[in-house]
Amino acid sequence: MTAYSLDHVALAVRSWTQGGPVLAGRFGGRWRHGFEQAGAFNPAQIEYANGMRVELLQPGSDPASFVRRFLDGTGARARPHHITFKVRDIRASLGAAGAAGFEPILVNLDFEGWQEAFLHPKDTGLGFLVQMAQAEEMPEELAGDMPGLSLTPPWPEPEVAWAALPAVAGQVSRWDPVRRVLRDVLGGAETPLEPGISRFTWPSGADLVLATGEEPGLRALAFRGDGAVSWELADVLRAAEQEQIVPELGIRVADLAAQRVAG
């Protein structure tokens, strides 16, 4: 019933070419794949040195695309949408969610290679959707034959070093549901860092650093341009509180190694 990875953070964007060059050119993110389809959304993923990914959700051809509605509702150019946790047994995770008092939404178990469910931010207190996904990696020789799948980046390969994405920062206003979903349902290990601040970790992917705040939600992506995965709390908090939101991504970003040198 536990997650084995905080796999990726998904950002809703008007187009891949809006956010992708920032993630690649500033932090050396490597294009993993993109998928264009006739429907609600087109996903693309950019990968970092520690295996953590950022997913860009572009509106699909459907005029009722949920990505378009999500962005148009606030007039935003880009906004954080969800965090995805990989689980080994989606049905066990659904049972754990129910036992913890959560009612999963958008449950889809129809496809063996990708089964998913979401937990609503109003229920979890996190301020963003939580996706639980059981997935099988598709062999590259088969993936290349999928219609709409692109393994070639739509922008130049980055010339900067391949960064790591060791921490994601956010705010919460209610700790009880947050702990129930992250610890009891997803099996995250909590480490209190300071009063009102905790780190949640899984065997792979980024750490999730949460602090008490009035506006629940994702606050920052904390990179290390030197590829290392260590981080200092002061740097992560500075990123979440003082960095400017990057319009192309709708979230704050910071290079922790650069901050440490500057400090």
Predicted confidence (pLDDT) per residue in 55-98, tens digit? 999 999 888 899 999 999 999 999 999 999 999 999 999 999 99
Q: What is the dihedral of CA 255, 260, 262, 263, to 10 degrees?
A: 140
Q: How many helices (H) and strands (E) does the chain have?
A: 8, 17
Predicted confidence (pLDDT) per residue in 177-186, tens digit? 999 999 999 9
CA end-to-end distance (rounded Å), the chain: 42
**Strands of the 197-201 sheet, one edge to the other:** 189-194, 197-201, 207-212, 164-172, 217-224, 251-255, 245-246
Give yes or no for residue 4 having a pLDDT over 70: yes
Segment 117-121 mean pLDDT: 97
pLDDT at res. 263: 46
Give yes or no for residue 260 having a pLDDT over 70: no
Of 4, 19, 31, the C-alpha closest to 56 is 19
- Within a 10 A sphere around the Cβ of 47, how many other Cβ atoms? 18
Rounded Cα distance between 65 and 50, Å, is: 32
Predicted confidence (pLDDT) per residue in 237-248, tens digit? 999 999 999 999
Segment 99-112 mean pLDDT: 95
pLDDT at res. 140: 52
pLDDT band at residue 204 under the 50/70/90 scheme = very high
pTM: 0.93
Rounded Cα distance between 205 and 203, Å, is: 7
Q: What is the mean pLDDT of the chain?
A: 92
Segment 185-197 mean pLDDT: 97
Give yes or no for residue 175 having a pLDDT over 90: yes
Q: Which two tokens stand for residue 109?
A: 């178990």
pLDDT at res. 37: 83
CA distances 59 to 16, 56, 62, 67, Å, are 10, 10, 8, 5
Rounded percentage of the chain residues whose pLDDT exceeds 70: 94
